[in-house]
């Protein structure tokens, strides 16, 4: 019997084995994902919708911050590794770069009222852990600069050895926050993976209300953190709570009498003084080296004696509408001409306050065919791109909200669109309304000006499967779009 030897078959087989091995190695790295769940990491709060404008992090919090291990000083004497300064939160990955933005107000801060803190991780694949470490920003760090190695203390305040074993989801890491850390900080949770070259770096934005033990029986029970300027006629209330609910006896309210008093640092000072005058068992202010508590113009910590029964305070703002705020829509043409359902509409919003502006165009069936958002003051030009519109009467609604959120103004005008529409009825402009896509749903793809219909079951489930970083089923664009959609 003659055996046929084919060199190309051997090479093909080797190549297939290499591809398989490569895929297996890649899958091990890809699957080793996780994030800090308690307290919630920056990326997890993006997924929950608490943090906004997060890019791809809102879809994949478990994938953020993955890069080389070795924070902050390298591995085993090797050259410096770990995350790049300024890209610690993203791990240097472009689709997570929004996480690298850093300012005093950019991210939601979780309040920490106890220095005995427990961290818990959630893993999509719990690969063996060398260790978990927790670093915290230095005393006096600048919250308006990008995060880098120098932003953090050089040694972790807590380390949990992993023993090269798979970590258990939700297993508590019990740590103690150093006494010197108060107010706004970033805690960097680091999960060093044992069987890859990588680690996961998870920033956790916190406001540490917990104070070190104070002489004299004082315990921290809250914080006045002023950030919003107030107007004459506004009120601020420090609401006291005990174990059984709100304690009206120890609650204090002040009124804002003028613009100077309404400055954030000034009303905080006035409220702190009012609390100190009203109740000898309550103190508001900042501790000095002699443990005296004195009000300051800015953030003030609230303290209580045990016999008061007060366990916490909440600061409530009662803001009046800004009656003098105004907004006017101008320069809108009565008619615009469509070109295959598209047109750009230019107009002006005139405001006497700095406002968040949102203009939306609706067709005769109240279907949204265009929207534009911006921030402006004075005369602000807006350009609204209309997509997928049909000729007919349309309604433009302009809404302006002052940045402090106290006042909203709205104006509505009618405009006529003529010319050529898309020609096919559709239900949504992709990817709007994605959660409602079912068999038969028609969507307009604005990238191609084409309409696609979601296929019947069992393929209809693919129609909802889309993210900016996983777009295989995006109609007319994704690599596998024909599995989910028919082009009309």
Burial of 131 (0-12, 13-18, 19+ CB in 10 A): middle
- Using the predicted structure, report yes or no on whether residue 76 has a pLDDT greater than 50: yes
Separation CA 312–CA 115 (nearest Å):
16
For residues 254 and 341, is the Cβ–Cβ distance under 8 A?
no
Higher pLDDT pick, 406 / 422: 406
3-state helix, strand, coil in the chain (%, to 5): 15, 40, 45
Nearby residues of 10 by Cβ (< 8 Å), 6 or more positions away: none
Question: What average pLDDT score do residues 395-401 get?
Answer: 95
pLDDT digits (tens, 9 = 90+) for 28-63: 334 458 899 999 999 999 999 999 999 999 998 999
- Using the predicted structure, report yes or no on whether residue 138 has a pLDDT greater than 70: yes
Separation CA 243–CA 114 (nearest Å):
17
Tokens standing for 193?
Answer: 């993976």
pLDDT digits (tens, 9 = 90+) for 93-130: 998 999 999 998 899 999 898 888 999 999 987 778 99
pTM attached to this predicted model = 0.47
pLDDT level of residue 155 (50, 70, 90 thresholds): very high
Check residue 197 and report its DSSP letter: S
Separation CA 276–CA 18 (nearest Å):
73
Question: What average pLDDT score do residues 301-309 get?
Answer: 91
- Using the predicted structure, report yes or no on whether residue 22 has a pLDDT greater than 50: no
Q: What does 226-290 look like in DSSP terms, one character per residue? A: --S---TT-EEEEEEEETTEE-GGG-EEEE--STTTTSHHHHHHHHHHHHHHH-TTEEEEEE-TT
Check residue 90 and report its DSSP letter: T
Query: In the prediction, which pLDDT does 213 show?
Result: 55
Query: In the prediction, which pLDDT does 439 show?
Result: 94
Separation CA 451–CA 443 (nearest Å):
6
Peptide bond into 148 cis (omega under 30): no
Characterize the bridge pairing of strands 343-362 and 408-419. Answer: unpaired
Long-range contacts of 322-326 (CB under 8 A, 24+ apart): 322/231, 322/353, 322/402, 322/406, 322/407, 324/352, 325/351, 325/352, 325/353, 325/355, 325/402, 325/407, 325/409, 326/351, 326/352, 326/353, 326/409
For residues 283 and 252, is the Cβ–Cβ distance under 8 A?
no
What is the CATH code for 32-208?
A: 2.70.50.50
pLDDT digits (tens, 9 = 90+) for 353-393: 999 999 999 999 888 889 999 999 999 999 999 988 889 99
Tokens standing for 127?
Answer: 């690969």
Domain boundaries 327-418, CATH class: mainly beta
Least confident of 21-25, 243-247, 418-422: 21-25
Query: In the prediction, which pLDDT does 97 show?
Result: 93
Separation CA 481–CA 476 (nearest Å):
6
Query: In the prediction, which pLDDT does 197 show?
Result: 85
Q: What's the angle, vertex CA 356, arms to CA 350 and CA 361, rounded to 5?
A: 75
> CA of 278: how far to CAs of 222, 272, 273, 308, in Å?
17, 10, 9, 13
Query: In the prediction, which pLDDT does 417 show?
Result: 95
**Which percentage of the chain shows pLDDT scores above 70?**
91
Decide whether 215-318 matches 327-418 in CATH topology: no
Burial of 298 (0-12, 13-18, 19+ CB in 10 A): middle
Beta pairing partners, 445: 450
Separation CA 381–CA 398 (nearest Å):
12
For residues 231 and 317, is the Cβ–Cβ distance under 8 A?
no
Separation CA 458–CA 442 (nearest Å):
17
- Using the predicted structure, report yes or no on whether residue 23 has a pLDDT greater than 80: no
CATH architecture label of 215-318: 2-Layer Sandwich (3.30)
Separation CA 34–CA 39 (nearest Å):
14
Q: Where are the domains of the chain?
A: 32-208, 215-318, 327-418, 428-487
For residues 444 and 429, is the Cβ–Cβ distance under 8 A?
yes
**How would you label 449-468 residue by residue, b for 16+ Cβ within 10 Å and e otherwise?**
bbbbbbbeeebbebbbbbee
Looking at 4-133, list the stretches that DSSP marks H as alpha helix, in order from N- to C-terminal side. 7-31, 42-47
Most confident of 237-246, 302-311, 329-338: 329-338
For residues 364 and 392, is the Cβ–Cβ distance under 8 A?
yes
> CA of 318: how far to CAs of 83, 236, 266, in Å?
44, 6, 16
- Using the predicted structure, report yes or no on whether residue 132 has a pLDDT greater than 70: yes
């Amino acid at each position: 019997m003659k055996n046929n030897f084919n060199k190309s078959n051997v090479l093909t087989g080797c190549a297939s084995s290499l591809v398989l091995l490569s895929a297996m190695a890649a899958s091990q790295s890809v699957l080793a994902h996780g994030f800090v769940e308690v307290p919630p990491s920056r990326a997890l709060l993006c997924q929950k919708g608490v943090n906004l404008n997060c890019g791809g992090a809102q879809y994949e919090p478990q994938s953020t911050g993955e890069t080389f291990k070795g924070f902050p000083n390298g591995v085993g004497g090797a050259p410096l590794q770990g995350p790049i300064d300024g890209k610690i939160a993203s791990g240097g990955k472009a689709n997570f770069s929004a996480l690298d933005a850093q300012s005093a107000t950019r991210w939601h801060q979780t309040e920490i009222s106890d220095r005995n803190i427990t961290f818990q991780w959630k893993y999509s694949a719990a690969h063996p852990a060398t260790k978990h470490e927790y670093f915290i920003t230095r005393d006096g760090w600048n919250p308006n600069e990008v995060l880098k190695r120098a932003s953090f203390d050089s040694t972790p305040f807590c380390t949990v050895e992993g023993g090269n074993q798979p970590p258990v989801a939700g297993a508590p890491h019990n740590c103690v926050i150093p006494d010197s850390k108060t107010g706004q900080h970033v805690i960097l949770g680091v999960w060093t993976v044992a069987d890859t070259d990588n680690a996961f770096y998870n920033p956790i934005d916190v406001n540490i209300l917990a104070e070190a033990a104070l002489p004299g029986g004082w315990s921290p029970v809250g914080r006045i953190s002023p950030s919003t300027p107030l107007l004459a006629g506004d009120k601020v209330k420090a609401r006291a709570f005990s174990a059984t609910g709100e304690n009206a006896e120890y609650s204090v309210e002040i009124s804002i009498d003028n613009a100077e008093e309404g400055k954030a640092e000034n009303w905080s000072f006035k409220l702190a003084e009012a609390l100190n005058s009203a109740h000898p068992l309550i103190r508001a202010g900042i501790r000095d080296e002699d443990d005296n508590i004195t009000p300051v113009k800015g953030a003030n910590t609230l303290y209580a004696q045990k016999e008061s029964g007060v366990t916490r305070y909440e600061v409530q703002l009662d803001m009046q509408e800004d009656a003098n705020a105004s907004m006017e829509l101008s320069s809108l043409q009565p008619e615009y001409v469509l070109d295959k359902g598209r047109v750009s509409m230019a107009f002006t919003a005139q405001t006497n306050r700095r406002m968040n502006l949102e203009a939306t165009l609706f067709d005769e069936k109240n279907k949204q065919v265009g929207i534009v958002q911006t921030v402006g003051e004075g005369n602000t030009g807006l350009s609204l791109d209309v997509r997928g519109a049909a000729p007919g009467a349309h309604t433009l609604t302009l809404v302006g909200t002052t940045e402090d959120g106290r006042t909203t103004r709205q104006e509505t005008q009618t405009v006529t669109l003529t010319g050529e529409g898309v020609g096919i009825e559709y239900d949504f402009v992709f990817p709007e309304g994605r959660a409602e896509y079912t068999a038969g749903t028609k969507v307009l793809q604005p990238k191609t000006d084409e309409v696609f219909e979601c296929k019947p079951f069992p393929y209809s489930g693919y129609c909802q499967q889309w993210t900016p970083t996983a777009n295989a089923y995006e109609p007319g664009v994704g690599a596998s779009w024909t599995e989910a959609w028919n082009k009309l």
